[in-house]
Amino acid sequence: MNKEQILENLATAIVDGDDDMALESARAALDAQLDPLDAVDQGLSKGMDIIGEQFQSGEVFLPELLMAASAFKAAMEILKPEIELQKKEIAKQGTVLIGTVKGDLHSIGKNIVGTVLETKGFDVVDIGIDNGALDIIQEAKKVQADVIALSCLMTTTMPAQKEVIETLEEMNLRDKYFVIVGGGPVTPEWANEIGADGYGESAIQAAELVKELMDNK
Amino acid sequence: MPARFAELLTDEQVVRVHEASLEILENVGMLVRNEEARARFAKHGCLVDTQTQIVKFPRAIVEHFRQAIPPTFTFHGRDPQYDRTIPGDGPLTTTSSSAPDVLDPQTGNVRRARSDDIARIAYLVNELPGYDLFSISVTADDAPPGQYSLSRFYPALKHCLKPVRGSAPDMDEVDNILKLGALIAGSEAAFWERPFITFQYCALISPLTMDVESTEKLMRLTERGIPSYGVVAPNAGVSAPFTLTGTLALANAEFLAQAALEQMVRAGKPIIYEPLPTVADMRTGAYAPGAIETGIILMGCAQMARFYNVPSGGFSGLSNAKTNDAQSGFETGMSTAVTVLAGADLLNMGGLLDALMVFDFAKAVIDNEIALMLKQTGRGLQFSEENLALDVIAETGPGGMFLDKLHTIQRMRATALLPEIADRAPRNQWEAEGMPDSQTQAMRRVREILTRDNPAVFSPDVDARIRAEFEDLVAGDAVALDITTD
């Protein structure tokens, strides 16, 4: 198999959401001595771009997008150790700390956003559900996050998103991080009102938003 | 009342769904994050894994506790004439709850909802005959710290004599709201004689998870005998399997687990089997409560509730529409129609647009009319020998006319629903009136109500006592609409 064929297969494995094919193709890439960074950029990421566009246009459905992300992660399990072994670095896109705010235990939407962000090359630190403002900020410091992503599903927990931003302000840390908000009841108006740096309607839009914020940093 | 409700499942299938739910609870179990709840489950014979916090339910335990659920549930209003007990008084209809936004009745723009909106909505609900209770439709953005729910209950109770239902974030707020109830009733004893406040909680997070704080509330409200019950809200495809039957089995399992805990805390606690089952729109994952599948799953839930001999309800008639258009009408109309035919006793249906995000006054008026249509449907053909009207058919005879018969005159105001929003005028008259659509008609009704004084508001004495008790309390007035605006 030539290099082009392997890259093509990596992309196809992502588009098809085929974990086995993704693993196989990633191994084939290493066997053929491909640069693992090329395998990511020109294979896996290309596949994610294709499926991302197809999702945006309504051609593929959300479960298919998640299958693609899962295949991406599977291939990365093979490629990442080799990248580290070769002392190469994946171009650092930034670190996103993501979690659900205090009082809210709904995790599914947050998980989807985290997964899609990972496929876009971001380091994602998922701190799970029911996080108080101070805990979130402490974690953000610890992992040197660039972006804090706050999720909530209930109208009754929305004020907790505001609280995180207020606490950052009180601690004079607001300009250290981009803060983005999302979740069922969250709207662009709410994001604006509480002084967040942005809002994404879907996981794909959230990933685009983070990319845009980081590009303009 | 219909002789038979519309049933999608055979009797054998109902039993199988019940069995499947027991299997889920016995084999998969529930993740119970509240320690006290885990201890209670353990005490009653459930298998608790302290590491994983998974609780598994031997079927005999579920069977035992579900049989303790009473067959009726009563809502009290500030005025006893609005007391309602289901199933007997059903189908009941109410507004849907806790939207963060409101469509401003003067500007037509979406904005955050406030306590004065709640006052206006409460007044509207008080005046609209289709609503049996007021489930507090929006949150209050102007709530002072520590009065998140008090800022909702106070304007609601101040302007509405019907039963009021809402939620509270913690027991401190619950205590304040009960204190408010006692001040309105005149004394604690008077309040507890007819407690006109009902609480709702969401202790269950699908799939199969009980959280910490809401479960805490479930136990505290239950042990104190405060009228309250929980809602389970599985979303098929996301937090439930993407089959309607599977979602029904899961919702039913979640209901049974929640009911078991309630009955363990207080045997004989009245509750309602009232889920909010939805599907996701798989294209994007969008939350789709307006989907017809909500109604279809609720038909199954109504059947399960009957099997358990428990009053049933559901969040039927929600809509994903952004404005009062055909979508908002057909989504609300179709789901509620199938749910009511299936025998649900309580429909949480009124006033909200955009998947529970926005309250719209005009939508509430339109839904009032849909609610009246549903009640009419619930009454059915009203079969009786007398209603066969054989005498008047014979008296009128072939080629005759019924219009001028005493029989007709005696029934002309009652047999058929006389709608206020649905337009039945001839076209030329409708054109002469400016071709009003249902939105325009509904807003006229909104203005007609909200520009008058509300006689339901409590006396200045009572209000003074309340305001003395709670510092910084919101005004809670239904500020009259400016009639010059159109």
Q: Which of A43, A95, A51 is nearest to A74 (CA)?
A: A43
> Mind listing the pLDDT tens digit for each residue in B446-469?
999 999 999 999 999 999 999 999
Name the residue facing B283 among A61, A193, A203 (closest C-beta): A61
A188 and chain B in contact, CB less than 8 A: no
B209 and chain A in contact, CB less than 8 A: yes
Confidence of residue B25 (pLDDT cuts 50, 70, 90): very high
Task: Report d(CA A36, CA A79) in Å as an integer.
Answer: 6
pLDDT for res B415 = 95
> Mind listing the pLDDT tens digit for each residue in B383-393?
999 999 999 99
What is the value of pTM for the model shown?
Answer: 0.91
Task: Report d(CA A120, CA B397) in Å as an integer.
Answer: 80
Determine the length of chain B.
486
> Mind listing the pLDDT tens digit for each residue in A151-173?
998 887 888 999 999 999 999 99
pLDDT for res B34 = 96
From the number of C-beta atoms within 10 Å of its C-beta (0-12, 13-18, 19+), residue B343 rates as buried
The whole domain housing B368 covers: 73-247+264-379
Give the C-alpha distances (Å, rounded to integers) separating B445 from A3, B115, B327, B376, B439.
71, 21, 21, 21, 10
Whether residue B10 lies inside any domain: the answer is no
Angle, CA A128 vertex, CA A124 and CA A131 arms, to 5°: 115
Task: Report d(CA A149, CA A196) in Å as an integer.
Answer: 10
> Mind listing the pLDDT tens digit for each residue in B328-366?
999 999 999 999 999 999 999 999 999 999 999 999 999
Whether residue B481 lies inside any domain: the answer is no
Whether residue A118 lies inside any domain: the answer is yes
Give the C-alpha distances (Å, rounded to integers) separating B311 from B229, B302, B305, B357, B379.
12, 8, 6, 27, 18
pLDDT for res B483 = 54
The residue of chain A with its CA nearest to that of B203 is A105
E-strand spans in B242-401? Answer: 278-281, 286-288, 313-314, 346-350, 352-353, 358-360
Task: Report d(CA B172, CA B179) in Å as an integer.
Answer: 11
Tokens 């001999």 correspond to B309
Say if residue A174 is in the same domain as residue A140: yes
Say if residue A161 is in the same domain as residue A211: yes
Say if residue A141 is in the same domain as residue A198: yes
Whether residue A149 lies inside any domain: the answer is yes
CB contact at 8 A, A26 and A39: yes
Whether residue B232 lies inside any domain: the answer is yes
**Which phi and psi (to 5°) does residue B65 adopt?**
-75, -30
Tell me if residue B47 falls in helix, strand or coil.
Answer: strand
Q: Which of B154, B182, B177 is nearest to B478 (CA)?
A: B154
Q: Do B282 and A130 touch (CB under 8 A)?
A: no
Tokens 């599903």 correspond to A153
pLDDT for res A204 = 86
CATH of the domain at A170: 3.40.50.280
Query: Is the pLDDT score of B218 beyond 90?
Result: yes
Query: Which of A85, A116, A131 marks a domain boundary?
Result: A85
Tell me if residue A174 falls in helix, strand or coil.
Answer: helix
Distance from CA of B186 to the nearest CA of A (A): 31
B213 and chain A in contact, CB less than 8 A: yes
Q: Do B211 and A189 touch (CB under 8 A)?
A: no
Say if residue A64 is in the same domain as residue A166: no
pLDDT for res B171 = 94
Say if residue A63 is in the same domain as residue A143: no
CATH of the domain at B150: 3.20.20.480
Give the alpha-carbon dihedral of B65, B70, B71, B74, to 10 degrees: -140
Task: Report d(CA B232, CA B305) in Å as an integer.
Answer: 14
Tell me if residue B288 falls in helix, strand or coil.
Answer: strand
Query: Is the pLDDT score of B485 beyond 80?
Result: no
Total number of domains constituting chain B: 1
Q: Do B110 and A189 touch (CB under 8 A)?
A: yes
Say if residue A109 is in the same domain as residue A203: yes
Determine the length of chain A.
217
Say if residue A80 is in the same domain as residue A134: no
Task: Report d(CA B123, CA B199) in Å as an integer.
Answer: 20
- How many Cβ pairs within 8 Å bridge chains A and B? 47
A contacts of B357 (beta carbons < 8 Å): 185, 187
The residue of chain B with its CA nearest to that of A63 is B282
Tokens 């529409």 correspond to B321
Name the residue facing B282 among A63, A105, A130 (closest C-beta): A63
* CB proximity under 8 Å: A 94-153 to B: 103, 105-106, 108, 112, 130
Q: Do A187 and B357 touch (CB under 8 A)?
A: yes
The residue of chain A with its CA nearest to that of B234 is A106
Angle, CA B336 vertex, CA B330 and CA B339 arms, to 5°: 140
**Which phi and psi (to 5°) does residue A151 adopt?**
-115, 145
Task: Report d(CA A133, CA A168) in Å as an integer.
Answer: 9
Query: Which of A43, A67, A85 marks a domain boundary?
Result: A85
* CB proximity under 8 Å: B 267-326 to A: 280, 282-285, 287
Tokens 């929305």 correspond to A158
Structure tokens at A14: 């992502």
Whether residue A115 lies inside any domain: the answer is yes
Say if residue A43 is in the same domain as residue A125: no
E-strand spans in chain A? Answer: 95-100, 123-126, 147-151, 178-182, 198-199
pLDDT for res B71 = 98
A193 and chain B in contact, CB less than 8 A: yes
Structure tokens at B449: 């109500």
Name the residue facing B283 among A62, A108, A203 (closest C-beta): A62
The string over B30-44, giving b where at least 16 C-beta atoms fall within 10 Å of a residue's C-beta and e elsewhere, is bbbbbeebbebbeeb
For B290, other C-beta atoms within 10 Å of its C-beta total 26
Mean pLDDT computed over B106-124: 95
Name the residue facing A108 among B211, B212, B238 (closest C-beta): B238
What single string gives the DSSP state of each residue in B60-80? HHHHHHHTTS-S-EEE--SSG
Q: Which of B211, B278, B320 to mutate to test the interface with A (most CBs of A within 10 A)?
A: B211
Q: Which of B232, B240, B225 is nearest to B273 (CA)?
A: B232
Name the residue facing A155 among B98, B238, B284 (closest C-beta): B98
Distance from CA of A84 to the nearest CA of B (A): 34
Q: Do A112 and B285 touch (CB under 8 A)?
A: yes
Confidence of residue A85 (pLDDT cuts 50, 70, 90): confident
Helix (H) or strand (E) holding A108: helix A108-119
A contacts of B213 (beta carbons < 8 Å): 103
B contacts of A112 (beta carbons < 8 Å): 285
**Mean pLDDT across chain B, nearest whole number?**
96
Say if residue A210 is in the same domain as residue A106: yes
pLDDT for res B3 = 86
Distance from CA of A34 to the nearest CA of B (A): 35
The residue of chain B with its CA nearest to that of A105 is B211
pLDDT for res A201 = 85
Mean pLDDT computed over A57-68: 92
Query: Which of A85, A107, A126 marks a domain boundary?
Result: A85
The whole domain housing A28 covers: 3-85
pLDDT for res B264 = 98
Whether residue B171 lies inside any domain: the answer is yes
Total number of domains constituting chain A: 2
B contacts of A204 (beta carbons < 8 Å): none
CATH of the domain at A10: 1.10.1240.10
* CB proximity under 8 Å: A 28-87 to B: 58, 61-63
Whether residue B453 lies inside any domain: the answer is no
CB contact at 8 A, B141 and B112: yes
Say if residue A77 is in the same domain as residue A181: no
Whether residue B341 lies inside any domain: the answer is yes
The residue of chain A with its CA nearest to that of B169 is A156
Q: Do B284 and A202 touch (CB under 8 A)?
A: yes
Say if residue A9 is in the same domain as residue A67: yes
Task: Kindly provide the ipTM of the predicted complex, given to two decimals.
Answer: 0.81
Distance from CA of B354 to the nearest CA of A (A): 10
> Mind listing the pLDDT tens digit for each residue in B43-72?
999 999 999 999 999 999 999 999 999 999
Distance from CA of A216 to the nearest CA of B (A): 28
Q: Do B285 and A106 touch (CB under 8 A)?
A: no
What single string gives the DSSP state of each residue in B99-164? BSEEE-TTT--EEE--HHHHHHHHHHHHH-TT-SBEE--B--TTPPTT-TTHHHHHHHHHH--S-E
A206 and chain B in contact, CB less than 8 A: no
CB contact at 8 A, B147 and B180: no
pLDDT for res B486 = 44
Say if residue A113 is in the same domain as residue A29: no
Percent residues over pLDDT 90 in chain A: 72
The residue of chain B with its CA nearest to that of A102 is B213
pLDDT for res B221 = 97
Tell me if residue B242 falls in helix, strand or coil.
Answer: coil
CB contact at 8 A, B157 and B78: yes
The residue of chain A with its CA nearest to that of B142 is A159
Whether residue B8 lies inside any domain: the answer is no
Whether residue A63 lies inside any domain: the answer is yes
Distance from CA of A184 to the nearest CA of B (A): 8
Angle formed by the axes of helices A19-31 and A3-16, to 10°?
160
Whether residue A90 lies inside any domain: the answer is no
Picking from A108-117, B18-27, B247-256, B273-282, which range would have the lowest pLDDT averaged per residue? A108-117
B139 and chain A in contact, CB less than 8 A: yes
